[in-house]
Every structure is written in C-alpha cells, then in structure tokens.
C-alpha cells in the first residue's frame, strides 16, 4: 500500500504523515508513506487545499489533519 501526503512540508503536513505512519503500524499494514511537496505534482491530484492524504492513488481527505484513528479506518 502507498500513502502520499500532499503539502508544502509545514507542521500540519508533517503531523498527517506521522499519523499515517502510526496508523499503518497499528494496523500491521505494510505501507510506504511518501511526502509530496512539489506544487505541480500536488495540483495534478486536483486538490485545492492541503494537507491531503492519498491512499493507493485515491484522495481520501483534503484540508484536514486526520487523526491516527481516522486514518486506520481508511486503510
């Protein structure tokens, strides 16, 4: 499983990435968390706000720092 975190690399983006890593670990899901900070690449997903989380190519949330529990439900 691949999780992409879209955002400039600010505190919120970092927190979302950390939560995603924790959620995957808690569920025992093997996954790679990749941070995308390039604005052109972020825009290619069509999102208008960050941070955003993309799981296996599908945008799941925009503009919010999801909690570990919320991310676990998406995995």
Partner 1 sequence: MLEEKDLCCNGSAKTLILACAGGSNTGQISNKAMIELEKRGMGNAYCLAGVGADLSGFVESARAANTILIDGCPIGCGKKSFEKHGITPTRYIVVTELGIEKNHNFDNLEAETEEAIRKML
Nearer to partner 1, 29 or 44 (CB): 44
26 binds partner 1 (CB under 8 A): no
State how far the Cα of 46 lies from the Cα of 8, in Å rounded to an integer.
Answer: 15
Q: Which of 2, 32, 34, 63 forms a contact with partner 1 (CB under 8 A)?
A: 63
Backbone angles phi, psi at 7, to 5 degrees: 165, 165
Q: Which of 21, 31, 61, 72 forms a contact with partner 1 (CB under 8 A)?
A: 61
39 binds partner 1 (CB under 8 A): yes
Q: Helices H, strands E: what count in the chain?
A: 3, 4
State whether residue 69 is helix, strand or coil.
Answer: helix
Catalytic site positions: 10, 13
């Amino acid at each position: 499983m691949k999780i992409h975190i879209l955002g400039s690399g600010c505190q919120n983006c970092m927190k979302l990435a950390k939560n995603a890593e924790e959620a995957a670990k808690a569920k025992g899901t093997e996954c790679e968390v990749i941070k995308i900070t390039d604005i052109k690449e972020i825009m290619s997903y069509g999102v208008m706000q960050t941070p955003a989380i993309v799981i296996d190519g599908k945008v799941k949330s925009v503009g919010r720092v999801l909690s570990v529990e919320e991310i676990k439900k998406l995995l």
